[in-house]
């Protein structure tokens, strides 16, 4: 609900074609199975908690060195007060801190006190090709070590220089930070986002961006990644279009003094000619910008086996705690369930969001 929120047939006998296809499918299936068995022990579930120890975010990651360096997304651990990681073996580790944090490319390297841990190695992402078979392993919606596969469907380059690997391997919330593997078991990229407005539009950060961060040796406490960059935020002014890394929607963002105004602009055709809108107005309050996100949209509910449609106006609390020329981050108090008949959310949870310039 909220704008800020959550990559030829040949003429041959039919019998020959049947066996050729069946044999290829079995070979691919065995290959995927072997890859999962050799890789899954190095993939972890990350559970982030707030200052009172309440779990707030779940994401994925993967061990990159046997002594406990773990790669994940910046947005998974951003603002964390504490975190634990769970291995496929059932072992738990407390996160000791952050070794490297690249908010611009959404990469973080965290550290646990491990020894002789299973780990993955990096592929040269510059050597990848469209059509390469890839595998995603992670914990979507907390479902640990879920596996999906697909192909690399494209390579994308944003105007600001950010690179993406687009893939058809299905991912969901919770996959963030997990590895995108090529079929030799090496990491091609970090699963980062999906676009909910289309099908099979999922994106990973290329692995080539990880290596420079692995040289960092100074351990910073969790929570240091969420400190606002005052100098950078003061340079973000005027009006521009930003894309949500949570839902893929485009928003017109206007910075006017102590105020941030936002509006969803690429509504689908079914809504673009209606009164539907999503807008936000925030005011600076100390190191944050706080305010309301307002949505006006159609909802459906059933009454006596009849489907009814109703327009609802929904307001939720929203705040931005980090803003730079390349990134806007914050959280919104979003409904996890909604009573359309009453036009009221039934339960609210704080969910992080990230926007990047379009």
Instruction: Give the catalytic positions in this structure.
Output: 75, 106, 176
Q: Is residue 271 within a helix (H) or strand (E), and if so which, with residue range?
A: helix 269-272
Q: What is the C-alpha to C-alpha distance for residues 331 and 320, in angstroms, rounded to an integer?
A: 7
- Smallest CA-to-CA distance from 90 within 160, 132, 51, 144 is with 144
Could you give the angle at the alpha carbon of 161 between the alpha carbons of 157 and 164, nearest 5°? 40
The 3-state DSSP class for residue 262 equals strand
Q: Considering Cα of 171, then 175, then 180, then 184, what sign does the dihedral take?
A: negative
Phi, psi of 171 (to 5 degrees): -140, 160
Tokens of 174: 């919770």
Upper half-sphere CA count for residue 276 (Cβ side, 13 Å): 19
Most distant CA pair in the chain, distance = 74
Q: What is the C-alpha to C-alpha distance for residues 167 and 342, in angstroms, rounded to an integer?
A: 40
Residue 286 has a CB neighbour count (10 Å cut-off) of 8
Give CA 305 to chain center in angstroms: 37
Q: What is the C-alpha to C-alpha distance for residues 310 and 307, in angstroms, rounded to an integer?
A: 10
Q: What is the C-alpha to C-alpha distance for residues 156 and 154, in angstroms, rounded to an integer?
A: 6
User: Which distant-in-sequence residues (6+ apart) come within 8 Å of 23 by Cβ?
Assistant: none
Beta strands in 22-115 (DSSP E): 43-49, 55-63, 69-72, 82-86, 92-102, 107-112
């Amino acid at each position: 609900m909220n704008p800020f929120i959550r990559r030829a047939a040949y003429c041959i006998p039919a019998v020959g074609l049947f066996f050729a296809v069946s044999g290829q499918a079995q070979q691919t299936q065995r290959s995927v199975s072997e890859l999962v068995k050799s890789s899954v022990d190095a993939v972890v579930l990350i559970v982030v908690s707030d200052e009172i120890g309440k779990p707030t975010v779940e994401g994925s990651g993967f061990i990159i060195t046997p002594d406990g360096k773990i790669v994940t997304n910046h947005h998974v651990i951003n603002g964390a007060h504490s975190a634990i990681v769970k291995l496929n073996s059932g072992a738990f580790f407390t996160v000791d801190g952050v070794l490297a944090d690249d908010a611009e490319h959404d990469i973080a390297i965290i550290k646990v006190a491990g020894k002789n841990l299973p780990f993955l190695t990096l592929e040269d992402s510059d050597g990848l090709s469209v059509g390469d078979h890839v595998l995603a392993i992670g914990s979507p919606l907390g479902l640990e070590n879920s596996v999906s596969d697909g192909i690399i469907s494209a390579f994308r380059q944003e105007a600001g220089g950010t690179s993406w690997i687009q893939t058809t391997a299905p991912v969901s919330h919770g996959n963030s930070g997990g590895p995108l593997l090529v079929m030799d078991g090496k990491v091609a990229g970090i699963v980062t986002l999906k676009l909910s407005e289309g099908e099979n539009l999922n994106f990973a950060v290329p692995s080539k961006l990880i290596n420079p961060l692995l040289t960092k040796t100074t351990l910073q406490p969790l929570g240091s990644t969420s400190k606002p960059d005052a100098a950078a935020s003061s340079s973000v002014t005027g009006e521009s279009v930003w894309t949500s890394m949570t839902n893929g929607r485009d928003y017109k963002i206007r910075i006017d003094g102590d105020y941030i105004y936002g509006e969803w602009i690429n509504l689908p055709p079914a809504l673009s000619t209606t009164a539907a809108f999503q807008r936000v107005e925030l005011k600076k309050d100390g190191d944050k910008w706080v305010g309301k996100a307002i949505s006006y949209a159609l909802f459906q509910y059933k009454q006596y086996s009849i489907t009814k449609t109703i327009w609802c106006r929904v307001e939720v609390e929203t705040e931005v705690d980090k803003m730079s020329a390349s990134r806007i981050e914050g959280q919104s108090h979003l409904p996890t369930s909604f009573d359309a008949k009453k036009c009221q959310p039934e339960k609210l949870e704080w969910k992080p969001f990230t926007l990047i310039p379009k």
